[in-house]
A = this chain, B = another copy of it.
Amino acid sequence: MGTVGIREVAQRAGVSPGTVSNVLNRPERVAAATRARVEQAIRELGFVRNGSAATLRAGQSRAIGLVVLDVGNPFFVAVARGVEDVVSDRDHAVILCNSGESPEREARNLRVLAEQRVRGVLITPTDEDLSRLDLLRQRGVAVVLVDHPATGDVCSVSVDDVAGGDLAVAHLLARGAERLAYVTGPLAIRQCTDRRKGARRALRAAGLPARALEDVVVPEMNASGGALAAEKLLSGELPDAIFCANDLLALGVLRALSQAGVRVPDDVSLIGYDDIEFSSAAAVPLSSIRQPTYQLGKIATELLLDECDSPTGHAHQQIMFQPELVVRESSR
């Protein structure tokens, strides 16, 4: 396998390696005729630029990292689309990493991204401990928090989860629920605790005690987790209404309840969170809290690239969107 480098191309086109590099990176600085010769040589030789060499030279690559909690969750897929669209406009690449809600995997992912010398990282952290990010930031890698509000010297783009939890539970209460359950993933996940905080606020506003809302914690925020939660609920006295920390959980709850002969919303009301596409198509169309997912990814990426491009004259900002209640059959 003859190594085809910039040297060989240069030789074939009768120019110097520097000129080939210019054709690749700043074509406008090369005379049209020379450029054409070089481009032909590139084609004939099947030359493909060595990205590692370029990255090594430049000190950083033309890529950013995106670390999400669950690639299997359509919520994050939608965010990723927003990221992808902005990034490819600017001729960068996205390295998509999945932490699977595990801090250890998150740390591994961050190390790989650091090794790859990405320009920046978009991340939905697995927990409150942001010290893992310092590894990156100290090295001059820009970081933007996605779906996680920041407090200080870092950009973030998020949605008001307290408001969302409030919205969801206020709605259930308005429909007459008195005993509620909150089905959630690990409480180390910020989204989970914030949504609960909002739920409790709604309870207080209605004059109900916090114990009117029972927590059902499961290890994974997916349909299996939901099924597990439903089992727990079925083993006791069913509540009037169930608020799930995301739609995947709600879908799992819905299925398990139906199989047990419990009717939604007649026997129990149900509301999810995220308003993923599948929710409206569920056996019982699911009420949910909608978030501007694509926007989340888009804005976060713009913030990140802005920080990369002018590390000095960049003011960190925390952007927070408001969620929206979507009422469907499951809580009607």
- A31 contacts B by Cβ under 8 Å: no
Is there an interface contact between B80 and A71, defined as CB atoms closer than 8 Å?
yes
Choose the segment among A107-115, A205-213, A300-308 that binds chain B (4+ C-beta atoms closer than 8 Å): A107-115
Is there an interface contact between B46 and A138, defined as CB atoms closer than 8 Å?
yes
Is there an interface contact between B77 and A72, defined as CB atoms closer than 8 Å?
yes
Q: Which residues of the partner chain B approach A48 to less than 8 Å between Cβ atoms?
A: 111, 114-115, 135, 139
CB distance from A269 to the nearest CB of B (A): 18
Contact of A51 among B49, B116, B281 (CB under 8 A): B116
Contact of A283 among B52, B61, B74, B285 (CB under 8 A): B285
Determine the residue in chain B with the shortest Cβ distance to A61: B52
Q: Which residues of the partner chain B approach A281 to less than 8 Å between Cβ atoms?
A: 223, 251, 254-255, 278, 282-283
Known A-B contacts A84-B98, A96-B96; the reply to A115 vs B282 at CB < 8 A is no
Is there an interface contact between B93 and A51, defined as CB atoms closer than 8 Å?
no
- A277 contacts B by Cβ under 8 Å: yes
Q: What is the bound-complex CA distance between A93 and B53, given in angstroms?
A: 19
Q: What is the bound-complex CA distance between A52 and B46, given in angstroms?
A: 22
Determine the residue in chain B with the shortest Cβ distance to A4: B139
- A95 contacts B by Cβ under 8 Å: yes
A48-71 vs B, CB cutoff 8 Å, 1 = contact: the mask equals 111111011000010000000001
Q: What is the bound-complex CA distance between A56 and B56, given in angstroms?
A: 8
- A196 contacts B by Cβ under 8 Å: no
Contact of A117 among B52, B112, B138 (CB under 8 A): B52
Q: What is the bound-complex CA distance between A74 and B281, given in angstroms?
A: 15
Contact of A52 among B52, B72, B140, B254 (CB under 8 A): B52
Query: A residues bordering B, Cβ < 8 Å?
Result: 1, 46, 48-53, 55-56, 61, 71-72, 74, 77, 80-81, 84, 93, 95-96, 98, 111-112, 114-117, 135, 138-140, 223, 251, 254-255, 277-278, 280-285
Please name 11 pairs of A and B residues whose Cβ atoms are closer than 8 Å in the assembled complex, sorted by A.
A46-B138, A48-B111, A48-B115, A51-B115, A52-B52, A72-B81, A251-B281, A254-B281, A255-B280, A255-B281, A278-B282
